[in-house]
Chains A and B, each alone.
Chain A
């Protein structure tokens, strides 16, 4: 009897699957994609040198501290009379000129930690410097506001702390097709068809089964969404370009995902940084321009906000190897079409008032930016997620 009803159910289920899920999503695209706000987070891993990204062209201390790696006024892209962009930031300059880029300077937190691991954890969990949180800020967003793992997707093979919640984790995938294939193993199907309520009620074992069910359905959902639209925009031929292309595909297919987490690595420029950092900034800038173009072509740019950070900036004074060591406060980029303000939120650091290590002091706590994005963009209660009241900034 049980077996019969199971067969019946699965027959029903598969007819739903075979039928027009693609068509359905195409329809709902028109109906539902308006006003569905999404956030893309970009992490520049390794500590991007903010001072050689946004250049204080009229600041003598900058040039004195960096005799061989300081970027000359003549080489920088002049965006204002005293601020220049790295020469590789031409696509970002265009976004700036069209009012789609907003720069927040001197972002950090009290008692900055200069370890990559630790500082990344601090940014990912939105913790204090001496506080160890088990769950990430996106994970806590999921706990409070979401129902499905795919409501937050990381474009990677394994999940960062940022997306781990107490009740709900996000899901990581770099390649929706590969994830789907992995999850679509007939063996899993067989296994799950043999699960019972008894399984689910067991505390830890039940958690495993529930996670498996959710992984399978999320993988399938993401895979199907990824097939709805296929972008024709050219992205840089780099892993980072692929991450954002997949992200744009999913957004343009009206996926029910609020937060995307992406990253570009290798910013740890202790030696000969001019070329290595320049190459990465070029990949970043070209990808951002392609992404904006892609989103615009489907009318989703208005409802997408892109937030870029790095776990720390770098020391003001260059080191002996024509590079820079780990520093503190840094700039954060916000890209979008609904920015209340354009240009710069605040002035660049004067470099006259550095901390004991010779690093830039923070002026804006990064959690104020999170609070802004949570409350003013994703329209949720920021305090529940950040465990503390942070004032929201006035830029969206």
Chain B
């Protein structure tokens, strides 16, 4: 496989390229590389942090004791940050790169926010479990997740007083997209999801007495439908496959959609909704490697961070600082802006975030001063330093046989203009560590 294409595949399907990837695959064909990428994601490793304090209680006690409930709620909220940190670290170090990439994509598709860490962790691992599975099973599983039942108010959706929030977003954002259903479809399907609830530790609980058993008419079909029946009917619509393929294309291939490529994808995806099969098709297609798709996407803040760690692995001494960076750059994992998720694309970049993105690499890999504007906002941040352990030895070892001039080929994914490469050339006598920080600090590094 051509190195340029290998790099593109690893940027989009995983979290970045490195000399190691090149060595591993130098003699492999495209098909072999893709097979290996999928094989290494066959396993599913749930992401778990220590929640014993929260899981060792008896739910009956919590209901009776308000003080205990309050204490647990507080503790639960406190655990969100370490879980966020564990997720980011998973992304930067995983061997199941494709599964984690898909998980990150689905987390923004099934955008959800909750403060109960047990439910959050369970939801996050459901994303991981189904990331390359069957999309219909995936949607059914999501509809029964405690975090989602709360987030989109299915918990309040009762026979006597239906709440349409979940039914609406299920169709508008999760499966069909606007224009492919009617307001009546929403009203009728909301009835089918009545009675959805969850147990204390997050298991699905169906409350029969709140469920509406009447006949619903949904998309020209009538019956005593439950939630799963509604999802089955939705998945009979080819527009569902087209909607998901378009979203995947915008994320993995190009924000500007090519309708004929979407058509090819939809034909693969419909009617079985096999995500793995679809993604294999995308990564094997010729157009995935077209010039207009290479190095033309703006990295999300998480992609940006992950790609830095592919050059110089970073460990934060204070996990909180990793959180601060996400906040300043506009993408805090587990805290999406709303049910539509992050808009992505150019919206990652404004006057403030562009300056930060160009400045931060120096600060992160050199333990340098944080600008006072940042510390003012987070006065509890200890001193004004990013306390990191940048692993320069790893860098030296990994890039041992790479010259300054070649570094660019590993780290920068888009074309560099003649004038900028002149500037870079004039700095190539810098030592390798200093030179690579320069590369991490140019606008071109924001592209993948």
Contacts and interface: CB of A to CB of B under 8 A. Distances in A.
Contacts of B339: 132
Contact of B414 (A185, A187, A205): A205
Contacts of B328: 157-158
B335 to A, nearest CB: 8
Nearest to A175: B373
Contact of A211 (B327, B354, B423): B354
B397 to A, nearest CB: 28
A205 B444 contact: yes
Interface in A171-186: 171-175, 178-179, 181-183, 185
B443 interface: yes
Interface residues of A, number: 48
Nearest to A356: B161
A214 interface: yes
Contacts of B52: none
B226 interface: no
B373 A178 contact: yes
A202 B447 CA distance: 12
A203 B254 CA distance: 12
A149 interface: yes
A227 interface: no
A195 B417 contact: yes
A156 B376 CA distance: 10
Interface stretch (B95-103, B344-352, B428-436): B344-352
B210 interface: no
Interface string A203-243: 11101110110110011000000000000000000010000
A354 to B, nearest CB: 17
Interface string B365-404: 0000001111011000000000000000000000000000
B446 interface: yes
A212 B354 contact: yes
A392 interface: no
B355 interface: yes
A121 interface: yes
Given A159-B352, A171-B351, A171-B352, A134 B371 contact: no
B340 interface: yes
Interface of B: 113, 168, 296-298, 327-328, 330, 337-340, 343, 345-347, 349-355, 358-359, 371-374, 376-377, 414-415, 417-420, 422-423, 438, 441-444, 446-447
Interface of A: 117-118, 121, 130, 132, 134, 149, 156-159, 161, 164, 169, 171-175, 178-179, 181-183, 185, 187-188, 190-191, 194-196, 198-199, 202-205, 207-209, 211-212, 214-215, 218-219, 239
13 contacts: A117-B113, A121-B338, A173-B373, A182-B373, A183-B355, A185-B359, A191-B442, A194-B420, A194-B422, A196-B419, A199-B417, A207-B346, A211-B354
Given A211-B351, A212-B354, 7 more contacts: A118-B338, A172-B350, A194-B417, A194-B420, A203-B296, A207-B349, A208-B446
